[in-house]
Amino acid sequence: MDKKTPRTETRNNDEEKLMKDLIVDYIPFEITPEQINESIKQNGGKLVVHGVLQRANAKNQNGRVYPREILERESGKYTKEFVAQKRALGELDHPESSVVNLQNVSHNVTEMHWEGDNLVGTVEVLGTPSGNILKELFKAGIKLGISSRGMGSVQPMQEGDGQQVGKDFELIAFDFVSNPSTHGAFLYPLKESVGNEVPTGRTCGEYCKVESIINDIIREG
């Protein structure tokens, strides 16, 4: 029987990495302008939001399921390597890349924890060009989502329709997007120094405002 040489094993590992795809999944996110203004006032001018970042063991609108053990492993690694070092940066809208582009950064995840099968986190909107656009979209009542971005593979579910995210999944970032895919998970403004009560938002749904808001910000800049 032939034995694999170290070079062969290295080549096979490289091939496995090349087979990974960019996996993007969204979670709805909505807040009111009043809640935005209150959050900014309570946090010294910063906009801080809190809510579900991703959900384990539940099929999302893309038909994918993240097993709890995989999402728990990756969130733990992400917390240690990025959140704890204050570099858990994300972008506005979904980049088709496995690398976070600093020019498009809009926010930073400041903490994450588990509540049942929900991965919950706190996010600070930054004063960058993309962060300012994000803040204005929130203030206008535009419905947005938070989206996980990672590399990995998916396999068909053993029972029923849909796909299961594979063990090779690697979490890259959480981005703000306009097309959410996970039911019932919203981010809300958070008062950092006050209790744990999270206010309820409402849907605006007026997506036609987005282009006008972005153009106004660009002109003001």
Instruction: Quote the pTM value.
Output: 0.74
Helix 129-139 and helix 33-42, axial crossing angle in degrees, nearest 10:
130
* 3-state SS string for 114-156: EECCEEEEEEEECCCHHHHHHHHHHHCCCCEEEEEEEEECEEE
User: Tokens for 66?
Assistant: 């993240």
pLDDT interval class at 218 (50, 70, 90): low
Quick one: pLDDT at residue 80?
A: 97
Q: Two tokens at 110?
A: 């400041």
Q: What is the pLDDT of residue 161?
A: 84
| 180 vs 177: CA distance, rounded Å | 7
Per-residue pLDDT tens digits for 140-168? 888 888 999 999 999 998 877 889 999 99
Q: Which residues are within 8 A (CB) of 167 and not within 5 positions of it... i.e. 6 or more apart?
A: 70
